Structure 1
Amino acid sequence: MNYLLPISEEIYQKHIAPLTPRFILTHPAVHLQVNDAIIPFEESGQQHILPLIYRVTAVNRTAKTISLQLIDFCQHTLPLKEAFTRNILISQEKMGDSLRIAPPEFEEVKNAMGGKRRTEQELLTSIRNYITARGYYYDEETLYNYHICLKTRPLVILAGLSGTGKSKLPQLYAEALGHKPRYLRLPVRPNWNDDRYLLGYFNTITGEYIPEPAVEFIHEAETDPYNLYFFCLDEMNLAHVEYYFSQFLSTMEEEQPEDRRIQLYSKYLWERAQKGADPFPYQLVIPENLFFTGTINVDETTKPISDKVIDRANTLEFFSVDLEKMPIPTTVAPPISIAASTWRSYRINTPDLSYRSQIIEINKLLNRADLGLGYRVLHEIELYLANSIELLEPDTAFDLQVKQRILPRIRGAGYKIEQLLNDLRAFLRQQNFPRSIQRLEEMQHRLQHDGYTNFWR
């Protein structure tokens, strides 16, 4: 049989959101049988039907538990009310707290949620077609690279020439996935010397918390876990990133989503504020459905990017522009609608260790110049490699990671840096990594010409 089963917020956060492949659910299980198909829905709030399909693998009526196994995904959520309004659920039968539905209606529910999940290649092809129809061009490697970076870590930095489409990429990516209303671009200003420009402040005179648009956007993402949210910090290095973004950088280090908390003001002040109107929360969780993209330029008006930021992000470059490939805008097909849980289903959490020996050798070369890689960088390079499988060739993926995660750490002058660049170039030539070699040669030329070099152009 097929059922729609209500799920509590606690169960959603513990098992549904992290896409736990198998879990045990406390349930009376009076009518459920092994091999029954289950689609969960929220038991409160808007009662969204969630785009995940489970199979009952075991029933323990004595302990009042059932074992569920995740077997498939649909594209997006569906409000339960809408399913009734559209007459999808006509002959459902209420069985305790669940709804038993006939096989044809079960298929209709899945179709109303966009049908079976697209493959990752199909998803990216749809995104690229949407971007082309809008009249913009990004080569396949750039688009795939950006997508893989988002799967690896929720902060990506886009560097390059002005007007090359840096800030447009996250916007078009969000639009193509049906999340245009959940995209925020915020221009950074040179006077941002602390995080109140993002988080707001507590007004001690009125006893109210005054939020900024950024913190309201983050709060919206936290309270809407079923959709993806995209936050673009435009020209993020017009001010020192560490001054206004330090809490975010530290919070993103937490492994468990519930630990990624930012304190806005004290609980004591929040309790006092409750005596009046409903106050703004005193802390926020940075949710898994929120992605940050920062665009940067490197010129006399901007601040340098420190290792603290470089360590926590992939850096994609936009310097080579092929004007001949700029498409003419055409009729835009409707965007894909994809739920946050479905997008996360493409993510791989087990690192790919196949290039560990090369990373160790590169680290030894860095050590000679008093530089080196930390555990974080190693882990995230290997996560990137795992998430690039079937999207990029393995050598291409590793070449990009050397360029995006390792080379930005190199800067300075003198014999040690010169020798490091020579040794690295020789090693990478043996391995045949052309992207990294090209950048190293540019850095060597700058060292010879200016007496100083770094990664940034």
Structure 2
Amino acid sequence: MLPNELSNIFRSKQKSYKMVLVLSLIDEYEVNHHNLIFPLNKVAERFLAYYRHRSSIGNPVDAPPQRETSSWNDYTLAQTRTLLKTPIDALSSIFEFNNDQQTITFKSSIMDQLNDKVIQELKEYALNELDSYNNQLTSNEIGAAFSLQNTLTEILNSYLHAKTQTFANHPLGVLFRQTIPEQLRKLPFIDDNYKIQGSIGQGNWANIPWIAIMDKRITGTTQQGQYIVYLFSEDMRNVYLTLAQGVTLPIKEWGRKEAYQYFEQKVTEMRDQLPLESMQKDDNIHLTTSGLGRDYQVSTVAYMRYDQGSIPNDEQLLADLENVMNNYKLYVDSLTQEPVEENEPTFEYEELGPLDPLTVSPRVEQIKAFIEQRGFHYPTGLIENLYLSLKTKPFVILAGVSGTGKTKLVKLFAEALGAIGSNHQFTLIPVRPDWSDPSDLLGYKDLSGAFRPGLLAEVLVDASQPENQHKPYFICLDEMNLARVEYYFSDLLSIIETQEWNNNRIVTSPLINQDSLRSEDQSIYGDLYLPDNVYLIGTVNMDETTHPFSKKVLDRANTIEFNYINLQQYPNDHRAEQQEVIVAENQFLRSEYLQLVDVYRDYSDLVHKTTEKLVKINHILEEIHAQVGFRIRDSICFYMVYNQRFQLLTEDEAFDLQLLQKILPRVQGSSLSVKRVLLQLMQGALGKSLVVNDLIEDASGLYQKWSSSQGEEDARHPQTGRKIAFMLRRLEEDGFTSYWLS
């Protein structure tokens, strides 16, 4: 089994360079008497030879990065040596580059774990990842030879087996999201009015994958409206070509009972209105017995069923699709020529559709590269953690000692996404020690009765404008615990909890009492709420000079601590290619889940697994009355689901961060009960038993081991363990401990 340091090195990949680099090193190792010092020139020769050979036999391959040539045959060895610095930097966690000797070696910590068996496993890992990547390139180049019959047959025959494999970057994802939509758009009876979209799930395999054709004049999302969709049964015995209805938004808006009544009414209406020749007009579509599959069955107007092993030929399949399209066109024409009935739902939607999980990891890597290109370095996993935390809830606290770069991180993260001060998408608000109520943030009425908006209110007004709702806005509350957060921030904390879905946007209750405003102010500030494109990030210093946080604050935020700064991180000795700013749509950051029911159907296994862990932790916290409630349970589950969808961290890494950010900040005190709780939590962090009673009197051996970094080696949750060790030390040496003491 590969060491942990090697098992996830290809988790993020934008090109094939990292895999080919590793394979080139291993080839050099195998022919050069197992020498683990690799001359850059030899590696570059093997690297270039791979791309030249693959190009020469006509296989798809990543094009060279240099603009002056599009052929690997014209690419020089010198250019290749320069190119290799990019994947070497990307793998800096395992490789070291000696600029003087122009050699590559494994880091000493990795070298100690290497043997022929490990290197062979690393080779197989790289080959598998490279094959998967190349399959994507091949799928992208499928052209005129496309066969709908062969494609449907392939899906029915392979999908159940595919579900046992890694979801991220699977070739079936490319087939559903890109290849099939691209080919269907070429059909003569499908024009620019139609949006075509396919899905195998978001972050995890869907039980019922689908391919939808939507007329953009009545819907641009599968969550509502009427459209055509191929639905694959959960057992993969059948695929149904259906005229169907979107179920997600009606159920979310009305509840399942009322939504089902609407679906049934619409089914009856459309069956009476349309010819639906050669289509089944009954309720015998069988996708699954529960969940979203049951919703699909209730909302289906008419269908054609194709059975595994007897899929018709392309001519028949295309004739069937054209028939369904003709019925769909008749229905759309009737809607566009007649007024919409009063009981017709008119939910709004985002044109961009659902966030594609495959795009998230490359974007996060771009953010990291942007920050590093500006000469700043942050601990491994911090940017991924910040992204997941903001995605979970738009309020994050960055905690640490002064001078660790908290405020700079917020500014750089926002800047990497195109949010800067000059376009008003980034605002720094320094907190003053004398703040005692929300007026400093939101505003106040002057003696004449006119409303004087605070900085926060001005940002919210700008972010709420229709033309700006797709842009992310960042507000950095700098040193937010110089004043008591509960005093000046209480209104915002309460408002965050009123989030709800409305027309496919997340809205809150109004922030300002409209009755107290003059008529001329009401039009601007009367309906002011916290929109879903505003992200609040507070920086706090962890020392005795600042105010502590209450559980009301901690429950509503992820608290990210980074005190462990490596001063020996230096700027690269070569200039990286200038990293472009990502002009991000708000969809990239916006929360997609507000209640646990939003994720339970698709991620029930992960929700149960995470909740069972929290139940055990609650039994421990009960001794000091610090148990977590539903709000924290849901928040942690959302964080874990996003992480699984986007494949940014391992499951243990993600849960480690949630323990550190959502559980430990609740623990403080001077009693033996607090110490007992910390020791029991340490057991979970280590993943092995401790003799708690023996450590109650003296735990110095435990935390001294962690202070020398020896405790991290075998810990399941090393960051949590390290923090607990520090808290235990403060308790024994000072008689009191808290997460917030530096």
2:461 aligned partner: 219
Q: TM-score, normalised by structure 1?
A: 0.74
Counterpart among 388, 391, 402 of residue 151 in structure 1: 391
Q: Spell out the pairing of 1:215-364 with structure 2 (5 A cutoff).
A: 215-223=457-465, 224-256=468-500, 259-267=507-515, 269-271=517-519, 273=520, 280-327=524-571, 332-344=578-590, 350=599, 352-353=606-607, 354-364=609-619
Shift of 1:71: 12
* Residue of structure 1 equivalent to 2:706: none
d(CA) in 1 for partners of 2:450, 2:194: 42
Q: Which residue type is aligned with residue 399 of structure 2?
A: A
Q: Which runs of 4+ in 1 moved over 3 A?
A: 56-59, 65-76, 328-332, 342-349
Checking the alignment, whether the CA contact within 8 Å between 1:160 and 1:296 is kept in structure 2 is yes
Question: Taking structure 1 as reference, are residues 233 and 257 closer, same or farther at Cα in structure 2, changes over 3 Å only?
Answer: farther
Quote the Cα distance in structure 1 between the aligned partners of 2:364 and 2:542: 30
| 1:64 and 2:265 correspond | no
User: How large is the RMSD of aligned CA atoms in angstroms?
Assistant: 3.4
How far is the alpha carbon of 1:204 from its aligned partner?
4.2
Higher strand share: 1
Residue 174 of structure 1: which of 414, 418, 421 is its match?
414
Aligned residue identity for 2:335: K
2: CA distance between counterparts of 1:268 and 1:294?
29
Deviations 1:320-361 (A, max 9, x none): 111222325766333011211354498895263122211100
Q: Size of the alignment, in residue pairs?
A: 375
Which residue matches 2:674?
417
What residue in structure 1 maps to residue 665 of structure 2?
408
> What is the distance in 2 between the residues matched to 1:371 and 1:250?
21
Contact persistence 2:461–2:524 (CA under 8 A): no
Contact 2:495/2:511, CA 8 A, preserved across alignment = no
Partners of 2:360 and 2:588 within 8 A in 1: no
Q: 1:287 to 1:25 in 2, by over 3 A?
A: farther
Conserved 8 A contact 1:74-1:342: no
Percentage of pairs with the same residue = 33
Structure 1 Cα separation of the partners of residues 374 and 470 of structure 2: 26
Q: Which residue of 2 aligns with 1:449?
A: 733
Distance (Å, rounded) in 2 between the aligned partners of 1:24 and 1:261: 28
The question of 1:428 aligning with 2:685 is answered yes
In 2, Cα distance between equivalents of 1:62 and 1:178: 41
Equivalent runs, 1:3-82 vs 2, <5 Å: 3=193, 21-24=222-225, 58-59=328-329, 60-61=331-332, 64=335, 73=352
Q: CA deviation at 1:444?
A: 1.1
- Give the one of 433, 437, 461 matched to 1:190: 433
Structure 2 distance, partners of 1:185, 1:226, is: 21
* Structure 1 segment 61-210 matched on structure 2, within 5 A: 61=332, 64=335, 73=352, 119-180=359-420, 181=423, 182-205=425-448, 207-210=449-452
1:212–1:71 CA distance, 2 compared to 1 (3 A): closer
Contact persistence 1:230–1:291 (CA under 8 A): yes
CA apart distance, 1:428 = 2.9
Name which structure has the greater RCO, CA cutoff 8 Å, separation 6+.
1
- Give CA deviations for 1:305-326 in whole Å, capped at 9, x if unaligned: 1111111111111211112223
Measured in 2, the distance between the counterparts of 1:319 and 1:175 equals 23
CA shift, 1:64, in A, is: 1.2
Give how far 1:203 is off.
Answer: 2.2
CA separation of 1:308 and 1:71: change in aligned 2, threshold 3 A: closer
Which secondary structure does the structure 2 equivalent of 1:292 belong to? strand
- 8 Å CA contact 1:191–1:239 kept in 2: the answer is yes
Whole-Å separation in 1 of the counterparts to 2:354 and 2:612? 39
Q: What is the distance in 2 between the residues matched to 1:25 and 1:341?
A: 24
The 2-side partners of 1:447 and 1:282 are apart by 50
CA contact (8 A) 2:479 2:541 kept: yes
Structure 1 counterpart SS, 2:655:
helix
Any idea what SS the aligned residue of 1:156 has?
A: strand
In terms of fraction of residues, the more helix-rich structure is: 2
Task: Output the CA distance in 1 between the equivalents of 2:565 and 2:588.
Answer: 33
Residue by residue over 1:52-108, the C-alpha shift from the partner in whole angstroms, topping out at 9 and shown as x without a partner, is: xxxx994524861799999994999xxxxxxxxxxxxxxxxxxxxxxxxxxxxxxxx
Corresponding residue of 2:636: 381
Partner of 2:192: 2
Which whole-Å CA distance do the structure 2 matches of 1:188 and 1:447 have between them? 31
Report the 3-state secondary structure (helix = DSSP H, G, I; strand = E; otherwise coil) of the residue aligned with 1:232: strand
For the residues of structure 1 that align with 2:579 and 2:585, how far apart are their CA atoms? 19
Distance of 2:638 and 2:374 partners within structure 1: 32
* Counterpart-to-counterpart distance in 2, 1:368 and 1:187: 38
Question: Corresponding residue for 1:99?
Answer: none
SS in 2 for 1:335: coil
Shift of 1:281: 1.7
Q: Check conservation: 1:160, 1:166, Cα contact below 8 A.
A: yes
In structure 2, what is the Cα distance between the partners aligned to 1:74 and 1:318? 35
Q: Which protein is bigger by CA-based radius of gyration? A: 2
- Return closer, same or farther for 1:147/1:189 CA change in 2, 3 Å cut-off: same
What displacement does 1:117 show?
9.5
Q: Distance in 2 between matches of 1:69 and 1:183?
A: 27
Shift, 1:298, TM fit: 2.2
The one-character-per-residue Cα deviations of 1:422-454 (angstroms, maximum 9, x if unpaired) are: 222223322622221121111111111111111
Distance 1:442 1:300, change over 3 A: closer
Aligned partners of 1:71 and 1:210: how far apart in 2? 34
Any conservation in 2 of the 1:262–1:284 contact (CA below 8 Å)?
A: yes
Residues 361, 75 of structure 1: alpha-carbon distance in 2 compared, 3 angstrom cutoff? closer
Go from structure 1 to structure 2 and tell me whether the alpha carbon gap of 1:361 and 1:25 turns closer, same or farther (over 3 Å shift). same
Aligned equivalents of 1:381, 1:167: Cα separation in 2? 25
1: CA distance, partners of 2:350 / 2:528: 33
Q: 1:343 to 1:301 in 2, by over 3 A?
A: closer
Unaligned runs of 5+ in 1: 6-14, 27-33, 36-55, 77-115
Cα distance in structure 2, aligned partners of 1:450 and 1:61: 73
Q: Does 1:368 align with 2:648?
A: no
Are the equivalent residues in 2 in contact too, given 1:75–1:342 (CA < 8 A)? no
With the length of structure 2 as denominator, give the TM-score of the two structures: 0.47
